[in-house]
Amino acid sequence: MTAQAHPILNPQFECASREEINAAQFKLLQEQVAWTYERVPFYRERFDALGLKPGDIKAREDVNKIPFTEKNALRDTYPYGLFAVPLDQVVRLHASSGTTGKPIVVGYTKQDIEEWRYCIMAMAQMAGVVPGDRAQMAFGYGMFTGGFGLHYGLEGLGCMMIPAAAGNTERHIMMIEDYGTTVLIATPSYALHICEVGEKLGYDWSKSSLRVGLFGGEPCPPKLKSEIESRMHIICTDNYGLTEVMGPGVSGECLVSRDQQHIMEDRFYWEVVDPDTLEPLPEGSVGELILTPLKKQAIPLLRYRTRDLTRVITEPCGCGRTTARMDKVRHRSDDMLIIRGTNVYPSQIEDVLAGIPGASAYYRLVVETVDGLDRLQLSLEVEPQVFTDSLAEMEGFRRLVAEKLKGALQVGVTVKLVEPASIERVMGKTKHVEDLRG
Ligand code: DLL
């Protein structure tokens, strides 16, 4: 796929030299630091305590002097404590509930909404979405950033938006058929569910008008991606973002570099640090992604700790873009389970299951303490072609899965096989792990 085949929204920036990108980005960073210092007492107090002034940020190395922002800063100042503009300039609120405590609330000025639209337009073009595409929304329209954020960006690009929203899966399939939908917007797990329901209804995906999946909001492991692509006959693309710094539109997959996502470097300054020491890591190392939005008016955040683990490279891409690419986020530093001293990530389990024919992408992992010991219990949905009434065959398969997991994780896992389609499907983000330890 060439750059000509799919136009690039802003080639002056997206195809600029590394030096040009760095220079443009750093200038915006300096302006954003000054904006934030002048308007947000939280940041001014932190800078003053360190004797730091925005003017001290003269070169990239100086960025290390700026303290990180943690999610707690948003919780502790809930709802408006980090806002940098009077509330009458805020035209939209969104929130993210997270798993514990108060939600975090973010605001957008008119200009923030414009910038967001720009990021979504650029991201959608990377994925091969073009004006005139018919884009069907399967994210909810609500406090979650996915629905409205992607909606306005795609409309801005000239797509015909179909605001179906989350839920009512059969209606989604009917709309795809009746309205000639070409782009589906969802979490990848909900997309697979739409696919399965369609198959059960006898819908022939190979004849459907659907061409591109714009998926995001949760990790899309390779097996999930290949299942969706082969069963729905579409190109499955993955985009990344988080409420705190904007929502979707931070980075997106192009049609050449399919395992990575281009970061919108004209809107986000990125760093990768060691999640334990918080020291910067050399380019190409896996670490925690730190993001500073560069043009945020309503709620600017400096050096936000995403907790997402990835690797970023700045090598130019075959699609013609020169913007940095991050690896798909497979896990977060706070997803890591410590089981009897061994670190286990759910993504390791997904990789093992992906290598076992007959194991589906649907699983649940429960962690609990039994007699003082941590135990992992995996319920795994078996694909219909291996599901049989023969107890011996099922037991053989169960043992195989348990052995492969033990080999890869170095921790024993109790495996329970469950019938196809028995694990609950969700319309939003799938929660694979339940940690019942205190
Ligand atoms: O999930 C924003 C979004 C909506 C992105 C729709 C893409 C599409 P939050 O609810 O605040 O925002 O969750 C952000 O979800 O820190 C990641 O851990 C995870 N995440 C989001 N997109 C991806 C992705 C939205 N493509 C958190 N791959 C982030 C892996 C993702 N993880």
Q: Tell me the pLDDT tens digit for each residue of 190-239.
A: 999 999 999 999 999 999 999 999 999 999 999 899 999 999 999 999 99
* 6-10 average pLDDT score: 89
* 258-279 average pLDDT score: 97
Phi, psi of 339 (to 5 degrees): -110, 110
Q: Do 297 and 391 fall within a single domain?
A: no
Instruction: pLDDT band for 4, please (50, 70, 90 cuts).
Output: very low
For residue 98, what pLDDT is reported? 60
CA angle 225, 142, 221 (to 5 degrees): 15
Q: Is the CB of 308 under 6 A from ligand 1?
A: yes
Residue 370: both structure tokens together: 């039994």
For residue 205, what pLDDT is reported? 98
d(CA 435, CA 100): 13
Q: Identify the CATH number of the domain in which residue 297 sits.
A: 3.40.50.12780
**What is the enclosing helix (H) or strand (E) of 308?**
strand 304-310
Q: Identify the CATH number of the domain in which residue 411 sits.
A: 3.30.300.30
d(CA 320, CA 227): 28
More confident residue, 99 or 177: 177
Residue type, 63: V
Q: Do 209 and 176 fall within a single domain?
A: yes
Per-residue pLDDT at 399 exceeds 70: yes
The ligand 1 atom at the shortest distance from the C-alpha of residue 219 is 30
The burial class, CB within 10 Å (0-12 / 13-18 / 19+), for 87 is exposed
**pLDDT exceeding 90 applies to what percent of the chain?**
87
The DSSP annotation for 33-61 comes to HHHHHHH-HHHHHHHHHHT--GGG--SGG
The ligand 1 atom at the shortest distance from the C-alpha of residue 144 is 10
CB distance 299 to 329 below 8 Å: no
Q: Do 291 and 308 fall within a single domain?
A: yes
Q: Tell me which of 70, 97, 242, 430 to substitute to probe ligand 1's pocket, judged by most ligand atoms within 8 Å of the beta carbon.
A: 242
Q: Is the CB of 260 under 6 A from ligand 1?
A: no
Instruction: pLDDT band for 386, please (50, 70, 90 cuts).
Output: confident
For residue 1, what pLDDT is reported? 40
Helix (DSSP H) and strand (DSSP E) numbers for the chain? 11, 21
Q: Is the CB of 306 under 6 A from ligand 1?
A: yes
d(CA 320, CA 137): 29
Q: Tell me which of 220, 329, 331, 336 to substitute to probe ligand 1's pocket, judged by most ligand atoms within 8 Å of the beta carbon.
A: 329
Instruction: pLDDT band for 184, please (50, 70, 90 cuts).
Output: very high
For residue 100, what pLDDT is reported? 56
Taking residue 213's Cβ as centre, other Cβ atoms within 10 Å add up to: 27
The residue to which tokens 């929660």 are assigned: 431
For residue 333, what pLDDT is reported? 87
Residue 308 Cα to ligand 1 middle (Å)? 9
Which protein residue's CA is at the shortest distance from atom 28 of ligand 1? 219
CB distance 146 to 140 below 8 Å: yes
The burial class, CB within 10 Å (0-12 / 13-18 / 19+), for 203 is middle
Residue 162, strand partner residues: 136
Q: Do 193 and 303 fall within a single domain?
A: yes
Instruction: pLDDT band for 102, please (50, 70, 90 cuts).
Output: confident
Residue 329 Cα to ligand 1 middle (Å)? 9
Choosing from 330, 364, 388, the residue where a domain stops is 330
- Number of domains, the chain: 2
Phi, psi of 87 (to 5 degrees): -65, -25
Which of 29-33, 72-76, 124-128 shows the lowest mean pLDDT across its residues?
72-76
* 247-272 average pLDDT score: 97
Q: Do 326 and 222 fall within a single domain?
A: yes
The ligand 1 atom at the shortest distance from the C-alpha of residue 306 is 16
For residue 381, what pLDDT is reported? 95
Taking residue 174's Cβ as centre, other Cβ atoms within 10 Å add up to: 15
The ligand 1 atom at the shortest distance from the C-alpha of residue 239 is 26
For residue 229, what pLDDT is reported? 98
Q: Do 290 and 167 fall within a single domain?
A: yes
Residue 435 Cα to ligand 1 middle (Å)? 21
Residue type, 194: I
Residue 120 Cα to ligand 1 middle (Å)? 14
Residues 6 or more apart from 396 whose CB is under 8 A from it? none
Q: Is the CB of 116 under 6 A from ligand 1?
A: no
Residue 269 Cα to ligand 1 middle (Å)? 18
**pLDDT exceeding 70 applies to what percent of the chain?**
98
For residue 303, what pLDDT is reported? 98
Instruction: pLDDT band for 371, please (50, 70, 90 cuts).
Output: confident
**Rounded (10°) angle between helices 346-354 and 391-409:** 130
Taking residue 34's Cβ as centre, other Cβ atoms within 10 Å add up to: 14
Q: Do 187 and 321 fall within a single domain?
A: yes
Residue 374 Cα to ligand 1 middle (Å)? 29
* 175-185 average pLDDT score: 98
Choosing from 313, 330, 347, the residue where a domain stops is 330
d(CA 352, CA 408): 7
Q: Tell me which of 106, 187, 218 to substitute to probe ligand 1's pocket, judged by most ligand atoms within 8 Å of the beta carbon.
A: 218
Q: Does residue 400 sit in helix, strand or coil?
A: helix
Choosing from 330, 345, 362, the residue where a domain stops is 330
Q: Report the DSSP pairing between strands 268-273 and 413-418.
A: unpaired
Which protein residue's CA is at the shortest distance from atom 21 of ligand 1? 217
For residue 101, what pLDDT is reported? 65
Residues 6 or more apart from 332 whose CB is under 8 A from it? 306, 307, 308, 309
More confident residue, 387 or 5: 387
Per-residue pLDDT at 28 exceeds 50: yes
Per-residue pLDDT at 2 exceeds 80: no
d(CA 209, CA 178): 10
Q: Is the CB of 332 under 6 A from ligand 1?
A: yes
Domain that holds residue 414: 337-435
Residue 76 Cα to ligand 1 middle (Å)? 22
* Model confidence, pTM: 0.93
Q: Do 231 and 373 fall within a single domain?
A: no
CB distance 75 to 99 below 8 Å: no
Q: Do 357 and 285 fall within a single domain?
A: no
For residue 5, what pLDDT is reported? 54
Instruction: pLDDT band for 335, please (50, 70, 90 cuts).
Output: confident
Residues recorded for the chain: 438
Instruction: pLDDT band for 342, please (50, 70, 90 cuts).
Output: confident
Residue 22 Cα to ligand 1 middle (Å)? 26
The DSSP annotation for 406-423 comes to HHHHSS-EEEEEE-TT-S
Residue 220 Cα to ligand 1 middle (Å)? 11
d(CA 26, CA 363): 44
Residues 6 or more apart from 389 whose CB is under 8 A from it? none
* 117-124 average pLDDT score: 98
Residue 258: both structure tokens together: 């399919």
The residue to which tokens 């049989």 are assigned: 388
Q: Do 313 and 377 fall within a single domain?
A: no
Cis peptide leading into 54, omega within 30 of 0? Answer: no
Residue 384 Cα to ligand 1 middle (Å)? 31
Q: Do 218 and 113 fall within a single domain?
A: yes
The residue to which tokens 């010991």 are assigned: 373
For residue 3, what pLDDT is reported? 39
CB distance 115 to 293 below 8 Å: no
Q: Is the CB of 239 under 6 A from ligand 1?
A: yes
Per-residue pLDDT at 20 exceeds 80: yes
Q: Do 34 and 143 fall within a single domain?
A: yes
